[in-house]
Amino acid sequence: MTKKIVVIILVLTAVVGGVAWLLRNEPADGGMGFDESAELKVVTTSTMVTDMVKTVGGERISVIGLMGSKVDPHSFQVTAAASAALKKADMVIYSGLHLEGKMQETLEKRAEEKKDTCAVTEGIPKAMLLKPEEDFEGYHDPHVWGNPEVWAHCLAVVVKALSDADPEGAEGYAERAEQYKQELMKLHIWAKARMGEVPVPQRVLVTSHDAFFYLGQAYGFEVRGLQGVSTNSEAGLKDRAELVSFIKQRKLKMIFPESSVNAKGIRAVADEAGVKVSAHELFSDAMSEPGDIVEVNGESYDRGTYIGMMKHNINSIVEGLK
């Protein structure tokens, strides 16, 4: 009887684990198909890119985002549902700078063969791109959305891609992009004022991995991560010991977990350093689900949008450190 119970537990564990893996890698739209009445069928990768493309494209396009909330773009692998969407798509728009990690080769191959694939980060001036703190295979830091001013440069790539494929919708694409750009600039001004509330000695952001250097540069924060720019890099014992020592030396009040990275590592660091872990996960490589509306300081915003995600991160950081 005992052996049977053990077998049942093992089977259930395998099933649950398999379902969890599928959910982590399932497209953001749950695998649904395109709206066949749309002028363009577009596949996007990260949730940030999906949000931007949907905002610019409006009702003229149908978008399938391959990566949902809590999905780590660095380790995402193409599923059967993702492959089916890619085959039906008129175009593919991704982030670039090797954010998509394991999917990079597939994207680059399609770009060469079909010329209908582009990376939004191609619109960012090279001078605005940051070199990672670690050796990230010689590439720039891909977490560009941390600075709204930098992220806004990606809009031109989206407008061109959609307009070239659908000239009749070009005027609308340009108008929506310009309106969205103004919203991003307002977000940047708000974030700068909000982050300024943190005392200068406390302007140190410690997170699960190095995803916040653009945010740190934009708002005057020193940034440290347990893992490197890619979550595929493992944090060794030496790295953890150095981070613990750093936290103690700077007498930090709080460090932050991330929504798309296992919190086990950062919690272990917190225990050793004797520091609090924020109850609010920061959105680093993926936003929340659309419709995740919260109210903070009398303002409501959707954490399933880029602007709402940024407001959540900024508010969480400020309240945790000031």
* Tokens 């609308």, located at residue: 172
- Can you tell me whether residue 117 is helix, strand or coil? strand
**Per-residue model confidence as pLDDT tens digits over 279-295:** 999 999 999 999 999 99
| pLDDT, position 209 | 77
Bridge-partner residues for 197, per DSSP? none
* Tokens 């597939």, located at residue: 106
Q: At what angle do helices 155-165 and 170-195 cross, to 10 degrees?
A: 170
**Per-residue model confidence as pLDDT tens digits over 108-131:** 899 999 889 999 999 999 999 998
Closest CA to 245 of 219, 208, 205, 272: 272
- The conformation of residue 251, written as its DSSP 8-state character, comes to T
Identical fold between 27-187 and 195-321:
yes
Res 30 pLDDT > 60: no
Over residues 78-90, the mean pLDDT reads 93
Res 227 pLDDT > 90: no
Contact 193, 220 (CB under 8 A): no
Q: Which amino acid is at 161?
A: A
| 168 or 241, higher pLDDT | 168
Q: pTM of the prediction?
A: 0.86
Res 14 pLDDT > 80: no
Range 27-187 has CATH code 3.40.50.1980: yes
Quote the tokens at residue 67.
Answer: 């990566």
> Which runs of E-coded beta strand occur in the chain?
40-44, 61-65, 91-94, 117-119, 204-209, 222-227, 254-255, 276-277, 293-296, 299-302
Res 12 pLDDT > 90: no
**Per-residue model confidence as pLDDT tens digits over 178-194:** 999 999 999 999 999 99
d(CA 235, CA 238): 8
Res 132 pLDDT > 90: no
| pLDDT, position 25 | 43
| pLDDT, position 75 | 87
* Tokens 């103690």, located at residue: 248
pLDDT band at 238 (very low <50, low <70, confident <90, very high): low
- The conformation of residue 37, written as its DSSP 8-state character, comes to T
What is the CATH number that goes with domain 195-321?
A: 3.40.50.1980
Domain definitions of the chain by residue range? 27-187, 195-321
